[in-house]
Structure 1
């Protein structure tokens, strides 16, 4: 998920603080789960946007590119 500035949108807000992070939070995930094997096939065919394995693309690269 991205916001208008091109940075990742956190699924839950940051805890309240008097200060804010200076950089976009990084996603530590390496592998991503699809609901079904057919959904994974659809992603590999390019008909569905999503991540499968970090060597094939990941949110950090998408935000920084």
Structure 2
């Protein structure tokens, strides 16, 4: 089975199209990590607002 992958950025609003994706992998380094907290909060808020089951989120952190 083929897996379609789109790689985009960095430009415009960070990950503004992420909410249309069925699956997403977010990769950031340095100061680029900062917007991810907002993106993850938005994802969680959308799921809570629609009373749907929370998505499975995994993160890796490295110094």
Whether the TM-score (by the shorter chain) exceeds 0.5 is no
Structure showing greater relative contact order (alpha-carbon pairs closer than 8 Å, 6 or more residues apart): 1
What TM-score comes out, normalization by structure 2 length? 0.21
Structure having the larger proportion of residues in helix? 2
Of structures 1 and 2, the larger Rg is shown by: 1
What TM-score comes out, normalization by structure 1 length? 0.21
